[in-house]
Amino acid sequence: MKPQTGSLPDAPGRDAARLGRRDVVVALVCGALLLVGWEAVCRAGFVSRLVLPAPSAIAVELWSAVREIVVGGPMRTHALTTIYEILAGFGLGVGLGFVLGVLISEIPAARRVAMPWLIALNAAPKIALAPLLLVWFGFGIGSKIVMAALIAFFPLLINVVSGLSQVEEAKLKLMRSLAASRTMTLAKVKLPDAMPAIFAGLKTAIVLAVVGAVVGEFVGAESGLGYVIKQSEFQLDVAQTFAVIVLLSIIGIAFFYAIEFIERRALFWTRPHP
């Protein structure tokens, strides 16, 4: 018999990659069509530029802001202030969330006592807390860092508690059979198993830290991208407002994918094999 010839079926990984590229192309085409339609509506005069500026006007303002950040200027100071508030608030929030998450997971009494209060704190409108933080921590970056930490805190707390409570029972039985201490079981079994959930919480927390820092700047600030948004609104410079919002989105996306990059390197064993 002659051996059959022809191409072998594509591997599942290759099919997934092809579908992923097609989705990206479709998303880019849809985005481009949306921008073209938006530009046409604005240029035709159907919408006032004081209400909705054209994408080209927003792009000009965004380029001006990026150029100031690169070569030096007031926008660099504002951007660096906001980035510092985001990172400091993120670090403070996830640090507290991780420690309390471990304690609540490992001590049942702590979960019964602390969780209702923590849920109540998270349910409180953060914009209502902002004036209090301003009184307590002043107009400087301290109040913005605390606001970012408050918003970033809860997602990591919940993910730590959830991740540590979903460890396979067989692994826990094995550690008990080896007479392992609670600390060893936590370090060798629970935390490694919970890392995917923890990283999911970190990615959520860093995006929310951006929101927290800007909310704090809205209430009272002398510098930062939130301060720039308020000033541009007072001056009816809607194009600059949109440009700074886009810049904040870019900052949030960059931080999100930075954590995802660390996750892929740190948790390489969780990636599916092709």
35: tokens are 């921008």
pLDDT per residue as tens, the chain (274 positions)? 445 554 444 455 566 566 567 777 878 888 888 888 888 888 887 877 777 888 888 888 889 888 888 888 888 898 999 999 999 999 999 999 999 988 888 888 878 888 888 888 888 787 778 788 888 887 788 888 999 999 998 899 999 988 888 877 777 777 777 777 777 877 777 788 888 889 999 999 999 999 989 988 888 778 888 888 888 888 888 888 899 999 999 999 999 999 999 988 887 766 554 4
For the chain, give the longest Cα–Cα distance.
Answer: 87
- Give 58-90 as a DSSP string: HHHHHHHHHHHHHH-SHHHHHHHHHHHHHHHHH
Give the Å distances, CA to CA, from 24 to 21, 28, 35, 121.
5, 6, 16, 39
- How do the domains of the chain map onto residue ranges? 55-268
Residue 248: per-residue pLDDT = 93
142: tokens are 């301290």
Architecture of domain 55-268: Orthogonal Bundle (1.10)
Which pairs from 270-273 meet CB under 8 Å and 24+ separation? 270/195, 270/196
Residue 203: per-residue pLDDT = 93
Q: How many Cβ atoms from other residues are within 10 Å of residue 22's Cβ?
A: 10
Residue 206: per-residue pLDDT = 94
Q: How many residues does the chain have?
A: 274
pTM over 0.75: yes
Which amino acid would we find at residue 132? Answer: L
* Interacting residues of 265 by C-beta distance below 8 A, sequence separation 6+: none
Half-sphere exposure of 269 (CA within 13 A, CB side): 3
* Interacting residues of 187 by C-beta distance below 8 A, sequence separation 6+: none
CB 205 within 8 A of CB 97: yes
Task: Identify the three-state secondary structure at position 48.
Answer: coil
CB 246 within 8 A of CB 210: no
